[in-house]
Structure 1
Amino acid sequence: MTGANLTYLSLLLLLLFPLGLLVVLYLITRPRPARVPIKNRHVFITGGSSGIGLALAHRAASEGARVSILARSIDKLEAAKQEILLSTGIDVAVFAADVRDYDALSRAVEEAGPIDVLVVNQGVFVPQELERQGLDEVKFMLDVNLMGAFNMVKAALPAIKLQRRDRGPGSIALMSSQAGQVGIYGYTAYSASKFGLRGLAEALQQEVIADDIHVSLIFPPDTDTPGLVEETKIRPQLTSIIAASSGAMKADEVAKRALDGIKSGSFIIPCNFEGLLLSIATAGFSPQRSVLMAFVEIVAAGITRFAALCFLWNWYGSIEKWHAKQH
């Protein structure tokens, strides 16, 4: 065989390999692609009185959804209701309840009626090194962010499953964080609560797929909300240095990415380029509906691992420099 023939054969194999891989991925990628409509459907959002939740409520209402929002403060809920009414002309339903109270959530869901899209968005964050943080604050974050998600999903499941086949695909979306993809200095308890949502989401998707319910896990970066303003006042200096490697986003930008991802049935929903890289780097055993994204995850796995090691090199370098200055 001549050198020219070997070159031709090598090029042919290089072309056939990705095509063959795409064919295999088409056959094995699960769950299958799905579309979750929003218009004329009931979208129920926790933590809906401010920040990302309020932005999601605005966007869902503007797309023709029937929206319900839940939060602890009835005053903030009423203010959010008026804000949405003025901007969209849509009247949303409001429910005052604490996600740590399962019975209160069950009553709210019963009053709200059948749910098509549930967005579990509530979250609290008190940044601090574990050594300095009280266990009461750790428990508070775990109770609201993680146990609150369990409470909400369990309370809402009967309302989501009710006559599901007659109503079309449903969705359960959990608002995690980029701190739920990678641990960050000062986020010990917060990261633990957000990492926990991934385990919940992966197992839950297997449990509800037969009911045509599609689980999404949203990973926003720092988002320009009232909560972020308060958090930056008290978080450790090292946390700010490390978190600066991923830029902040506006709440309405996160809401758009989140809702688009929910509508496409995506399991993992990154909100910016850094989030996309993190999603590829941490894909693991997560469900993947997109054959193209499955291909990218496989091909880019080594590259993203190298990028992750570069980030970690930078972060640990910052930590070493900071501690050296303290001594």
Structure 2
Amino acid sequence: MSIKLFKQAYATQIDLEPKMFLTELHMEAFLIENPDILSISDINSKVEVIQTQIHIKGARNDSNSDGRLDMLIYIKGDKPDEEFLAVVELKKGKLGEEHLSQLHDYLRSLNIFENKKEIFRVNNVGEKYLSKKMIGILIGSDIDSDLKAKFLAGDTIIDDVETFAKKASSFNRVRFSSWDEYEKQQRGNGIPDKILFIAKYVHDYFKYELDLNDKDIKYTSRDFSLNNPNGKRVKVFAYCTFSQSSLKIYFTYLGAFPNFPNVKSHYERYPNQYFVELKKDEDFNNDIKLLIKKSYNDILVRTIEN
């Protein structure tokens, strides 16, 4: 895996200003609710939180004291060799060498099979995870420059266990600067050409129909969003996510329920939001185009109301 340093943020329908988590427990709670933030960006993976606050007896090498691991997660990709048991350590502030050392202490303890087996037993972790390859993940609000250099040089591996770092409180959602870069990433994630073709059609249709500039389209590792340049607090009028079999478009709509095939309510999470699932070219029909064009105008209404 080539990418070792990440920035991550989740945002839909609003502009965000950077804001720190108050405590590590707040970070943990957020990640439990949004586990896919912990996925590995260069594989198409899903994340399961196995256990939190795991007690590890005698884990700290420098003091021979016990440790408490923040999170243990299971990451599963599409391929047989893309399964990982990840040891996750959370820090509210800047990541430094001492935090990498702490994570490595936990990894050393878990890299001894009998230790791992006992730790799992005491913390009610299923035996099915014992054989999974381990990785380490550090999460903080920033990273020390020397430690960052270590990651970029690949100098953070301990006992053949790879370590990753993520920034937890940066709200920079832009990951790719153009459709071409983004499409290459999605193709690398195994998204089929027919789904990418539909996505490009949707992308280009609204870009030219609504006269959007390049800066009005944002690309992240999992979706691309279409933004209303005249919106203020609210800007995103549609965002699109991929799967192996379809493209989903989420959009705001302030009118009565749009009773069209493939349109479903997303109301349980976001009021006035719906999504449509496109599996073939003809699913992107005139009804859907009009709904999403209206979403562009509804964003202006919501901006005024807010």
TM-score band by shorter chain is under 0.3
**Between Structure 1 and Structure 2, which shows a larger proportion of helix residues?**
1
Q: Which has the higher contact order (CA 8 A, sep 6+)?
A: 1
- State the TM-score, normalizing by the size of structure 2: 0.26
- State the TM-score, normalizing by the size of structure 1: 0.25
